Structure 1
């Protein structure tokens, strides 16, 4: 049934404290080497280091060799698996700083290899060598240094951080292209991320070192920023083309070989949107009241005077980007329109408040809208959040970032921008909604001689050919930073819109016939440590495709131009006194629509439970809206289409093929109307709270009697979301994990449901900061156990050093039996705290 605004969400009855259930399973065995083999392989490295250390001036000798293990040089120790408590053992060595740990790409021998990064002083190098020499002689290490013994047994390589680590292959190619034909002194603006040092004095010293090195190379520092809270230290610099050529060539005597440098990357470049097919403005809804904003948009300078935006934005522009926005203000105007109104082709869905708008980009006279090129964009975002909370956006806890850095696709490591959002999410209680990013590179379609043969094939064959080509390119179509953020909600584009008049032409054509799927251009997951990303898919406008007539084999292109026949209808800058509308497609618009839905969820909750929502902490609000947005998402059986492509022989383990499906779908397609209210046959309940270390609580979920009387299809789904504190530089980056304890068979029988594979697997779902479970069946429930089922959520043992602070969570539970009109009423009758909205029964 459609949602009914007179049937708001229901507040779960208060939980009871419960004993935490033990987690099962355990890690696999990591590969180990014999001491004899390790001495043979690594002994020469340590013996050479000992010889140099015994020389008259060891520091000078070591620094003269770019391949040497030297003081203040970042060292990399590659191992076959995790070494428990290694960071603590590092702290026992005076002058040795633990700089982080990361996963390496798996190979045929090691499923989960890792590496550790250390910054040693000269005395620390001597002690490391002494530890090795003692282990080499006796196989032992002193008491308290046990992790070093484990490391020596599992060590694959020990080496300095080098030019190949600092400049990725993709960025090498970018730099080579940007300086092609450029004069030697032509300045290229780049971001140089520095090895993060805990001590302020050490950070100041390496900043002086790199500033001097940049000057020697003929460049200049433009901006600098350090944020210890998420281990970020960087400079923005102009570097001459001749030095960029040396950097791209991985010359160890260039800046790519400078010890303080962790990475050299292009300056952040925003991803533009395509718009088209202007249309006239029709009715203008009344503006909202003067209540303080609870949602914000960080985007390009909008057209504030547009009738659809006038009186609806609280614009805060401390950098006066308005004065620089002399071109077409497309991106910010479109995103503001979608957040405020939704898709203008849809029925009106007004929100209750104005939107706080912070410009972070501007439209130059020509070309795409740009970030302020004189500042590091991460510093801009951090400052924007701090200023927002101190000023006109003090009540904001939802932030829309329909932006992405097209120079930074996800490569297994959380981006510095993603780390910044994770820190801000937890520290300020903010839900960031971030677009996954778009990619318009062509897709090869095999098996057809020409376009005519493709169109003559059966629809399922065509659909499968398109998906097979897309899946073959998944490694090149990964999320754009900051969509890799763990605490943020990442939004992909669903191939869907509200356009009523179909396109009558032959080309372009819709790439999937009769099949729900993401847009071809929507970037794919997975996220950090194979977590679910994108989180959800939201309508991003149907995106047609067209073949390149000259390409062989067939090359399918996403059609770049939206139109009145496909796309989301939004406010547009126009020559006609700024009164027009136009259409857009992609993940930016999908993300803005998700933000619009998030606001509608809050509005409904605030109307129904003002006494609860008013004093609710920001972090709990953010976690609840996060849970609610994911809660109404599902795969809509699309896995039945995708699985034969990703698992053609049907031999993959269910965890594996579901992970591959999840790469395309995340948690699934979001039904926005289901997200904002219930229906006669669907009851959604909610709760918020916080969990201290290793705490657990149990909720009694009401079960409608109808489930024990009819053998009709029913579904139970549960979504738990939280904002996790994070540990940058540690493999246990997500410091806190929450869990939904498994429902017992008695509970499943009482509701008449069973587990389903039509969702991300349990292990993958628990890799991020959202846990989503669905149970379905069509059998009569056994209600002999009572009118409720127990639902326990708990905080697992903290990863790494314990976190004392309680962690906020949001919880959503739905019981649904399509067509059974008494479900909502029967659940509501068991709820103690009734909503304050009049309910028609």
Structure 2
């Protein structure tokens, strides 16, 4: 039992939500209605011709499809309530919207700078996509002409936002072939498959616009099915998940048809089916299995697991070597799809490694092992290739459907059977799709994880993804690089990363907003020197060059955290005359369990990357759960609410994070101010042990609650100290975590927003010393650090008030949102101030008064 355990806040006070003060948008200079008519009349004319032509062609259709098009409105700025206006026009159906930041100004749309001159910077805008039929199109054109002519009473009640759209409309067009492949890398995927030997059909995903009506969904499937069949292909799987607006088909085509697509995709009828939103590669998450030629011993003392305790953690990964000495009796394997039958023991490397990290942490770090069993669901399969075996998500399933089924089975159960592990609240997901680097839209898998997280109160801990492109963009020769000092190497590497940051982003589903995404630091617990043929890449503790970097959706801080991901050496590739990573399982790196040679012996290996960092942080999540359990049950004699477990763990893992060790140095390497480092460091590198208990000079309090939009809670933090006598260095850290409902059809996406504000912050002279205050409020995790040391007038009976606000964001909902709050106040240890005892006494006194009332 801790000598100074974490404290629970008394019940918060109910308060009014703080009213927001949005920044006024800069004035956009736009054309007159007459100028808009002149610009866009030819566009509307072409749209009408396209509809008429399509109507004639579809008269011959055997499946009775009425002519419809997905229309794309590219608008400068944004138009409030356009979503509602679409709902008012018969025949229009809302699909989605997203932000665009690269609209070049012209003589029609532009802004002016402070000097009154035309600003050359790109304009922000919004892309709205709606489905329309002929009736709705005629109505749009009629309103457009009347608006351009200056007529009054043009817009029926509820549709006046259309007027704003017409005023700010840059262009309007049909969703076309390029839209369907531009962001998804489908064309590159098809080209790569043509390079493989053999005539095996090529699988890929066809994602449809998710229609409201079942009949329209069925017609869209039928049209795609007819096209695929006529090309000699097959429909392998259909998946529809209404809550994330996902409707997709897994199909395959013969290689000769793929070749036609690559050469002339714009003229292939399949690519021009209007019900198709995207063509996507199958999930390209795979892990090369390096040979384990060295048998590394494990000197860790292994204590037995407690099989009577319900599992809290799950792992979704490749089949593990469950009889390995480090794993035996510690895993509950659930394999309903019988993936194990396709695995030889020697190929069970990634799942074995992840299980080892989750249970024991890095074996060189001497972490305490988790004593609860871990639920394990295999979702990878082994595949033999010319250069060895790989483990990957099977190409005969849709990854979204596989994960959806897996979580539903785990919590709810299949059919009449109950859930197989309903107590799980943390899921390790050390998998990233290399074909789905984050661009502008939220990937279907991310949407799924966000929805599952909110629905079931689960925290997914997700890897940011390893970036293989670093070797492609790093042009320094090994000889020159080896001659540099480690500081000079760090500068050289991050200069390259900064120049290519647009190509080194996180991999799906790492852009998830409800869950924790983990990047890797270049650090481990090996004590090893480089030799003449090897070189360390960057200074120990810096972000790893192999890690995916931010930002995420809507510029949300992504990855959330960076954690120990191991190191590998760089070496010279003599054939290609470039610098590349050493690829083996020898040290340095993070140490975990592994099958040895043919799998007949237990071994260990050294690996590095975001998978390792993610699994090790999941290990810390398991320790945090036990600490929290003691605080609630043993210290306060109350049950830890299951509805808040995910937000508690999410907040606790983050609460000790900071940029302290590397922030200043990294700022110089990437030429960014220290308040703009979240792209490279997220919320920082966590010090989780510091958060697990208090100290003489430090106290941490936990608050819980649930809020509906337009509600607020206030927590009171007593600070019984006199700061006026001398300079006292003091730091306040506040972390708010929650799981938000989401709306996948809206660009804002997050349906509800929570955020905290601190009153009397200026009076106590505390200044923010990490991320920008706006940036930290964009996701579902607000983590801020405040510091001050000047003498101030502060009465010993004064308190800091921390207000948690809740408001609508993407839509109006009445659902309550659960949240957890962590607050730490600390002073410099050398001062000798009794922080914990004084605040603990005040808190306990407040709880007694509250209980009496």
Same fold (TM over 0.5): yes
Question: Residue 651 of structure 1 aligns with which residue?
Answer: none
Cα drift, residue 818 of structure 1: 4.0
* CA distance in 1 between partners of 2:525 and 2:660 (Å): 18
* 1:209-238 Cα deviation digits (max 9, x unpaired): 111111011100111100010000111111
Cα drift, residue 583 of structure 1: 1.6
Question: Residue 719 of structure 1 aligns with which residue?
Answer: 735
Q: 1:413 pairs with 441, 460, 463, which one?
A: 441
Q: 2:194 pairs with 168, 176, 179, which one?
A: 179
Question: Residue 811 of structure 1 aligns with which residue?
Answer: 821
Counterpart contact for 1:356–1:392, Cα < 8 Å: no
Cα drift, residue 512 of structure 1: 2.1
Question: Residue 480 of structure 1 aligns with which residue?
Answer: 507
Distance 1:741 1:251, change over 3 A: same
Question: Residue 67 of structure 1 aligns with which residue?
Answer: none
Question: Residue 741 of structure 1 aligns with which residue?
Answer: 757
Q: 2:664 pairs with 635, 640, 647, which one?
A: 640
Correspondences of 1:86-97 after superposition (within 5 Å): 86-97=82-93
Counterpart contact for 1:723–1:807, Cα < 8 Å: yes
Cα drift, residue 617 of structure 1: 4.4
* CA distance in 2 between partners of 1:446 and 1:521 (Å): 12
Counterpart contact for 1:301–1:359, Cα < 8 Å: yes
Cα drift, residue 712 of structure 1: 4.5
Distance 1:445 1:412, change over 3 A: closer
Where 2:774 maps in the other structure, the secondary structure is helix
Counterpart contact for 1:343–1:570, Cα < 8 Å: no
Distance 1:451 1:270, change over 3 A: closer
Distance 1:527 1:309, change over 3 A: same
Question: Residue 838 of structure 1 aligns with which residue?
Answer: none
* 1:80-108 Cα deviation digits (max 9, x unpaired): 12111011111111121111111224234
Where 1:251 maps in the other structure, the secondary structure is helix
Counterpart contact for 1:436–1:492, Cα < 8 Å: yes
Distance 1:310 1:710, change over 3 A: farther
Counterpart contact for 2:511–2:552, Cα < 8 Å: yes
Matched, 1:567 2:590: yes
Cα drift, residue 545 of structure 1: 2.3
Correspondences of 1:615-630 after superposition (within 5 Å): 615-630=639-654
Correspondences of 1:423-502 after superposition (within 5 Å): 423-443=451-471, 451-499=478-526, 501-502=527-528
Q: 2:19 pairs with 19, 22, 39, which one?
A: 22
Aligned residues: 807
Correspondences of 1:236-635 after superposition (within 5 Å): 236-248=250-262, 249-272=264-287, 277-282=294-299, 283-326=301-344, 327-364=346-383, 367-390=389-412, 391-443=419-471, 451-499=478-526, 501-513=527-539, 516-549=541-574, 555-572=578-595, 575=598, 577-610=600-633, 615-635=639-659
Shifted more, 454-463 versus 482-491: the winner is 454-463
Distance 1:788 1:572, change over 3 A: farther
Where 1:508 maps in the other structure, the secondary structure is coil
Question: Residue 702 of structure 2 aligns with which residue?
Answer: 686
* 1:679-717 Cα deviation digits (max 9, x unpaired): 333222111111111111111113253866663533211
Where 1:91 maps in the other structure, the secondary structure is helix
* CA distance in 1 between partners of 2:661 and 2:29 (Å): 40
Cα drift, residue 456 of structure 1: 4.2
Q: 2:127 pairs with 115, 135, 158, which one?
A: 115
Counterpart contact for 2:654–2:735, Cα < 8 Å: yes
Matched, 1:228 2:242: yes
Where 2:709 maps in the other structure, the secondary structure is coil
* CA distance in 1 between partners of 2:529 and 2:158 (Å): 72
* CA distance in 1 between partners of 2:610 and 2:827 (Å): 32
Counterpart contact for 2:738–2:781, Cα < 8 Å: yes
Q: 1:824 pairs with 836, 840, 851, which one?
A: 836
Where 1:771 maps in the other structure, the secondary structure is strand
Shifted more, 707-716 versus 517-526: the winner is 707-716
Where 1:737 maps in the other structure, the secondary structure is strand
Counterpart contact for 1:601–1:675, Cα < 8 Å: no
Shifted more, 568-577 versus 809-818: the winner is 568-577
* CA distance in 2 between partners of 1:446 and 1:211 (Å): 44
Q: 1:194 pairs with 187, 208, 212, which one?
A: 208
Counterpart contact for 1:246–1:254, Cα < 8 Å: no
Shifted more, 37-46 versus 816-825: the winner is 816-825
* CA distance in 2 between partners of 1:613 and 1:94 (Å): 58
Where 1:669 maps in the other structure, the secondary structure is coil
Counterpart contact for 1:308–1:571, Cα < 8 Å: no
* CA distance in 2 between partners of 1:196 and 1:224 (Å): 13
Counterpart contact for 2:563–2:613, Cα < 8 Å: yes
Shifted more, 367-376 versus 812-821: the winner is 812-821
* 1:508-567 Cα deviation digits (max 9, x unpaired): 222224x63111101111100111000000111123323445667xx5433333423332
Counterpart contact for 2:594–2:603, Cα < 8 Å: yes
Distance 1:386 1:768, change over 3 A: same
Where 1:296 maps in the other structure, the secondary structure is strand
Counterpart contact for 1:273–1:588, Cα < 8 Å: no
Counterpart contact for 2:357–2:615, Cα < 8 Å: yes
* 1:267-315 Cα deviation digits (max 9, x unpaired): 1121316665431233332223411111111111111111211111111
Distance 1:748 1:242, change over 3 A: farther
TM-score (norm. length: structure 1): 0.90
Distance 1:31 1:325, change over 3 A: farther
Question: Residue 754 of structure 1 aligns with which residue?
Answer: 767
Shifted more, 783-792 versus 415-424: the winner is 783-792
Distance 1:639 1:354, change over 3 A: same
Where 1:151 maps in the other structure, the secondary structure is helix
* CA distance in 2 between partners of 1:635 and 1:765 (Å): 15
Where 1:363 maps in the other structure, the secondary structure is strand
* CA distance in 1 between partners of 2:659 and 2:501 (Å): 19
* 1:330-357 Cα deviation digits (max 9, x unpaired): 0111111111111111123132411111
* CA distance in 1 between partners of 2:187 and 2:174 (Å): 20
Considering Cα pairs closer than 8 Å and 6+ residues apart, tell me whether 1 or 2 has the greater RCO: 1
Distance 1:31 1:245, change over 3 A: farther
Question: Residue 780 of structure 2 aligns with which residue?
Answer: 769
Cα drift, residue 607 of structure 1: 1.4
Question: Residue 46 of structure 1 aligns with which residue?
Answer: 44
Question: Residue 153 of structure 1 aligns with which residue?
Answer: 167
* 1:586-606 Cα deviation digits (max 9, x unpaired): 100110111111111110110
Counterpart contact for 1:79–1:154, Cα < 8 Å: yes
Question: Residue 839 of structure 1 aligns with which residue?
Answer: none
Where 1:197 maps in the other structure, the secondary structure is coil
* CA distance in 1 between partners of 2:657 and 2:288 (Å): 25
* CA distance in 1 between partners of 2:637 and 2:334 (Å): 26
Counterpart contact for 2:321–2:348, Cα < 8 Å: yes
